[in-house]
Structure 1
Amino acid sequence: MDTDDALDLAYEPAPDPHTPDTFHLTLPHGIRLSCRAAGAVDAPQRVLLLHGFPEAAFVWDEVIAALAPQARCLAPNLRGYEHSSAPAAVEAYRAKHLVADLVALIEHLGAPIDVLVAHDWGGGVAWNLAALRPELVRQLVIVNSPHPGALLRELRDNPAQQAASDYMHELIQPQAASRLAANDFALLFDKLSRFGQARWLTPALRQRYRAVWACGLDGALNYYRASPLRPPSAADASIHTLQLPPSVVNVSVPTRMLWGEADQALLPCLLDGLEQWVPQLQVERVPGASHWIVHEEPARVVETICQALADAQAATVGR
């Protein structure tokens, strides 16, 4: 059976070449993802781009428009976001389920994909996918998203990173969604500014964020609720006994990390010692860029992805 025949495809063509196509994919295991895409379906290379919190697939629009002449680019809204499926159960946001979504997407695109690009929580899922199913990805590009081994170490042992990550405790509370939505999403807009100066946050972009957040926030917050990786507190100090098996931390996929050094939520200490888990690693630090580097320096992000695409092509030709 052709891959598309196994998927419920609701397709809306782009009104002009600079606007991504939008459509829905219903994956074989029942999760429906709203997606944005650009580039020829039969392009020789394929790129999958994953957003983080509290963002959505639209944050990649400028990047995928630049890449479209050379690659098929797909940016899904992850489960729990925008018009994608948002299961109510916290357990539905455990890593194994999020990875299953990625596996199905990659099989739809045509495995292996050339480059998997991921930021923030999208990176948390991408690290797991690259560790568990390395045959599905030729190159990995991580943008300000900590490797789980380094995050565990710093949350357990580093008071500075514990303090920087303390906001996680707010996000797992039962009433977090209503608090974040109050007063025209004031706390969420504050978070976008708190982790960087957010000069990029134009009125038009604010409206795009509002539209996504109005679809519901609990699905996105369930990523934090389902994860054991959070700083210790009086109510929960389990981080001190948590162990991550080698199968989820050892990444053999060639990896580039693009890291805004002015990120106030994820400190530079998270880059220390990564070679023990990711032997084929290149780290590019960007002074002055914040956690929101995808908005701040899209050309830099595009350049890094293009380098990964070239490496993927060279490795394929060399076989």
Structure 2
Amino acid sequence: MIETYLQPLPHGTTLSCRAAGRRGRPVLVFLHGFPEAAFVWDGLLEHFARPEHGGYRCVAPNLRGYEKSSSPADVAAYRPRHLVQDVAALIQAEGGQLECLVAHDWGGAVAWNLANQLPQLTRRLAIVNSPHPGTFLRELRANPRQQAASAYMNFLIRPDAERLLAEDDYRRLWAFFTSMGGEAWLTDDLKARYRAVWDGPAGGPPGAGLVGGCNYYRASPLRPPRPGEPAAAAVTLPREALTVALPTLVLWAMDDLALLPGLVDGLEEYVPRLTLERIPGVSHWIVHEQPGLVADRIGRFLLQAPQDQ
């Protein structure tokens, strides 16, 4: 059974969370991406909370800007250091160290940074189709195919992006799913859950629930260059900010149209304790498309002793 609650954090942010499993058990935290929300992890929360799958305490926060979590108006409040601070404080509230941090899409961007800066907070890292900042920067600078695939990011920083996304009952966002294989799993019930998140508080403007998510893109320079704005071409990341020493599982859906397979090439240069699985025939929305496969691979990873990873 999924429980929901609001978790106040010491620095003033509140995260709305979904959880399964008994407090006091080893903890898994799951971080969602855009344009999703914590509910996308419900099946995995319940799976890993069961005794036969580890009996973990499983927590999925809505990241700042999503659902009922704090949603600062200032775009600068969505820079990586603030996002990492939120997740670090949540981990402290859940006991201080995770068995594993699991993340997809934008959640992975937060997780890569936390694993580099605060590795003591988790024993393992599991990433699902979220590019490492080092390989993402490389591809955004030099690979025209990845630049084209990421061009949507420059749409999402527009000041009217939320209003445009809300047009015609979120026509563009449904296409964002279905263009990458979403026809089978995007049921009417699931669309209703997404719509409730994207609508935001009652009485707000169309797409009010998307403001925070779009602010992640507005706050990040890791976007394709465009005339008059160098974006990623002007970014330099020091090597010490890119290395992740934790045992790390990366699951990469090879049919992701937005994040191309080249993003995992050379990943071992930054992540020496890497387990990488390339999964053919699956899109960016692998958590929806193949939840059993994702659960199986993470479960196997959790059973390995850290010294063997």
- From 262, 266, 273, the equivalent of 1:273 is 266
Identity %: 54
Aligned residue number for residue 84 of structure 1:
69
Q: Distance in 2 between matches of 1:54 and 1:303?
A: 25
SS in 1 for 2:123: strand
The match for 2:93 is: 108
1:237 has 2:230 as partner: yes
Change in Cα spacing, 1:206 to 1:140, as seen in structure 2 (3 Å) is same
Counterpart residue number, 1:308: 301
SS of alignment partner, residue 279 of structure 1: coil
Please state whether the residue corresponding to 1:181 is helix, strand or coil: helix
Equivalent position of 1:38 in the other structure: 20
Q: Which residue of 1 aligns with 2:206?
A: none
Which residue in the other structure is 1:74 paired with?
59
Taking structure 1 as the reference length, the TM-score comes to 0.91
Listed as ranges, the matches of 1:18-167 within 5 Å are: 19-43=1-25, 45-69=26-50, 70-167=55-152
Whether 1:253 and 2:246 are equivalent positions in the alignment is yes
Superposition RMSD in Å: 1.2
- DSSP 3-state at the match of 2:124: strand
Counterparts of 1:183 and 1:156, CA distance in 2: 35
Which 4+ residue blocks in structure 1 deviate beyond 4 angstroms? none
Match of 2:283, SS state, is coil
Q: Structure 2: any 5+ residue segments left out of the alignment? A: 201-208
Q: Which residue of 2 aligns with 1:14?
A: none
Shift, 1:241, TM fit: 2.9
* Rounded Cα–Cα distance in structure 1 between residues aligned with 2:190 and 2:182: 15
CA deviation string 1:57-99 (max 9, x = no partner): 0000111111112100000000000111100000000000000
Q: Paired residue for 2:286, among 290, 293, 300?
A: 293
Asked whether the equivalents of residues 222 and 231 of structure 2 are also in contact (C-alpha less than 8 Å), the reply is no
Structure 1 gaps, min length 5:
1-18
Q: Structure 1, residues 228-282: CA drift from partner, whole Å, max 9, x if none?
A: 1000100211422311122321101110001111100000000100111100001
Kindly state the Cα deviation for residue 27 of structure 1 after the two structures are TM-superposed.
0.5
Aligned residues: 296
Amino acid at match of 1:198: E
Aligned residues of 1:115 and 1:305 also touching (Cα < 8 A): no
Aligned residue identity for 1:108:
A
Q: Which residue of 2 aligns with 1:15?
A: none
Amino acid at match of 1:186: R
Alpha-carbon distance between aligned partners in 2 of 1:285 and 1:140, rounded to the nearest angstrom: 17
Q: TM-score, normalised by structure 2?
A: 0.93
